[in-house]
A and B are shown apart, each in its own frame.
Chain A
Amino acid sequence: MSELTLERGLAAFRAEIDAPTAAFFSSCVHCGLCAQACPFYLETGDPKYTPILKLEPLRRVWENEFTLWGRIKGLLGLQKKVTDEMLAEWEELVYDSCSLCGRCSVVCPVGNDLYAMIRKTREGMVQSGHAPEGLISASVRAITTGSPMGLQWKTLAVQIQHVESSSGLTVPVDREGAEYLVLLSSMEIINFPEYLEAITKIFDHAGISWTLSTQCFEATNAGIQIGNKDIAAELVERVVAAAETLRVSKVISPECGHAYTAIRWEGPNLIGRPYPFRVFHIIEVLDELRAAGRIKTEGKEDDRLSLHDPCNLARKSGVIQQQRNLMALVAENFVDLKEHGKYQWCCGAGGGVSSNERAEELKMAAFKRKKAQIEEVAPERMVTMCATCRTQLEEGLEAFNMEIPVVGLTEMIAEHLVERD
């Protein structure tokens, strides 16, 4: 790759400015309400984390180059330019203190889709050489090894063996013509191997034809987190190629939030064409199976359970009712957090924050909002459906000495399947 420069960054900012962006910047009245939606501001109290301010580099490019008044100011020498120093300062604001949770976007009174503009801003940050080290190395690993954590198929193969011996079932691999291609996330493979066993059991129970692909098993997309379309598109192409090789009609994104938004919403636009298959989050698939009567469960969890909606799944993808339907199937003492669904609060780790080691302190600060929400309803366990959220909830609750275990919803469903005769 040629050298990353301010010029390239500015060009990337320009390329990202579209009609919505112009309408958004035209409309901001500096009311400051976006700060009231941001866990990074609310939990640090530092006004520099006000969401609209994080967009100042992109806003300046818009004003200077895309407005009449900005051009007049340019002639008079009154423009505020975007400089390398400015971008260096903004790196923390655009990456460390934004999990792309999108809460500001649903709260802004004039309707500014702020998180979408942060996503755009990151494209310019990468091109100008101002992306965090942690995300750069995750992206490089994703491109070179297929996994942001550098995980190889052989590691997954060992897990498959474990799953097969403990469940007595077969995990289908490279099965052409299967209905579903199942993708996984590296974090899940490493931290939550129970997920693979759970879907193996559920799909066997429901009689689903599915497969893993040795060609591509990774669902996550480091390119989207860092904000680089080329990397992101390459990672999406790998999934598409695997799905096309195996001629599946449906692809399932795992219990991971950003992987789902990446493959479901951004993917087709990154590669510039619609998919020859449909994409679902595992929770959508499970709820469809439930509705079709293909999942038979017995017994219910009787402790007090609450649910953490991953931002990417709920607010940013409209999967809100499905997880509640599934909870109703297996939990008799379920209580929702007060603000949930499209108004849920981020765990603090999304949008690449968890891959950015330097952001650790901010990540844990942002978690305090989630912690307060959990304390409010005092559940005995939390349930969620995103490996990043789950890890963050586990680490966060542990750090505050709160003994609240965190469970994945898919596993919980698997535990209640009616045994076949």
Chain B
Amino acid sequence: MSGSMEFLLWTKGPVFDVALAIFAIGLLARLVEIFMLGRAPNYAEPRAREWPAGLRTMLTRTVADPGTFKRAPFNVVVGWIWHIGFLTALLFFVPHVELIQGVLGFAWPALPNPLVDFATAVTILALIATLVHRLTHPVKRHISTVEDYLVWAVVFMVVLTGYLAYHRLVEPYPLALGMHILSAEILLIILPFTKLTHIFTAFIARWYNGAAFGRKGVQS
């Protein structure tokens, strides 16, 4: 018991600090790397302003166009389900809200535990579905890299260990919780160096896309 308690304290203390630091510095470096490159001046007479179009695309790309939905419903629906489930658990589970309050100094109301529990279970199933899809769909299989599977494994571990800890399915409890926290810390550490950066950069990408099409008069 004392060993698992020490493990838990270790994950909550020094590892948390290191993970948070790597995450923050790594992400900042990535954002600087992107914005430092800048864009060449555009001399073509625009049809419309870039900003409103870019901001709209930041939101609208969240929903697939009807044609894409029809051609790849599984991809779209399962992607949506696990993203929503993951965010629900991440942002609205009571202890997570308390952690956010502790780190940021502010937070928001949490959701009832049974609801978060359900979202987590659905997320686990949806993540398994995405892995099966990645391994079997000809396109996804062909374009997948080691990084895709590594990132999948880390995300899956975070959700799975959280579920196991909550349901006391691993004993002793401090070990279960420590594993969950450590998984989340690994996720934070690899985030700035993998495709997980899309959590932040996808909105930048969408803005640039919306702006480029928008100035030509197309809301992309």
Residues of A whose CB lies within 8 Å of any CB of B are: 17-24, 26-33, 35-37, 41-42, 45, 47-48, 50, 52-53, 66-69, 105-113, 116, 264-269, 272-275, 278-279, 314-320, 339, 342-343
Contacts and interface: CB of A to CB of B under 8 A. Distances in A.
Contacts of B217: 317-319
Contacts of B138: 45, 47
B198 A342 contact: no
B186 to A, nearest CB: 16
Contacts of A113: 205, 208-209, 212-213
Contacts of A272: 43
Given A29-B198, A315-B218, A318-B217, A19 B34 contact: yes
A41 B67 contact: no
Nearest to B148: A30
B144 interface: yes
Nearest to A265: B44
Given A68-B30, A111-B57, A111-B208, A28 B43 contact: no
Interface string B142-165: 111100100000000000000000
A110 B142 contact: no
B40 A18 contact: yes
Nearest to A318: B217
Interface in B105-145: 137-145
A21 B198 contact: no
Interface in B205-220: 205-210, 212-213, 216-220
Interface of B: 26, 29-30, 33-45, 47, 57-58, 61-62, 64-65, 67-68, 71-72, 75-76, 79, 137-145, 148, 192-193, 195, 197-198, 201-210, 212-213, 216-220
Contact of B43 (A32, A66, A108, A273): A273
B206 to A, nearest CB: 3
B205 A24 contact: yes
Nearest to A319: B217
Contact of B75 (A17, A19, A31, A342): A31
B22 to A, nearest CB: 11
Q: Which of A26, A29, A31, A111 lies at the interface centre, i.e. has the most chain B CB atoms within 10 A of its CB?
A: A111
Given A23-B34, A111-B57, A278 B45 contact: yes
Given A32-B139, A36-B75, 19 more contacts: A20-B205, A24-B205, A27-B204, A33-B72, A36-B68, A106-B65, A106-B218, A109-B61, A109-B79, A109-B202, A110-B202, A111-B57, A113-B208, A266-B44, A269-B41, A317-B216, A317-B217, A339-B67, A343-B65
A275 B207 CA distance: 27
B43 A35 contact: no
Contact of B139 (A41, A269, A274): A41
B46 to A, nearest CB: 10
A20 B39 contact: yes
Nearest to B79: A31
Contacts of A278: 45
Nearest to A24: B205
19 contacts: A18-B39, A18-B40, A19-B38, A20-B208, A27-B197, A30-B144, A31-B75, A33-B64, A45-B138, A47-B142, A48-B142, A67-B30, A105-B213, A111-B207, A113-B208, A265-B216, A269-B41, A269-B42, A315-B213
Contacts of A20: 39, 205, 208-209, 212
A363 to B, nearest CB: 21
Contacts of A50: 139, 142-143
Given A22-B33, A37-B68, A112 B209 contact: yes
Given A24-B205, A27-B205, A268-B43, A109 B64 contact: yes
A92 to B, nearest CB: 16
B33 A68 contact: yes
Given A109-B79, A113-B212, A22 B34 contact: yes
Given A110-B61, A111-B210, A26 B216 contact: no
A45 B137 CA distance: 11
B150 to A, nearest CB: 12
Given A31-B79, A32-B75, A67-B30, A342 B218 contact: yes
Contacts of B71: 36, 42
Contact of A29 (B58, B64, B195): B195
A165 to B, nearest CB: 38
Contact of A111 (B39, B193, B206): B206
Given A22-B37, A52-B143, A107 B65 contact: yes
A48 to B, nearest CB: 7
Q: Kindly list the 3 A-B residue pairs having the minimum CB-CB distance in the complex, ordered from nearest.
A: A318-B217, A111-B206, A268-B43
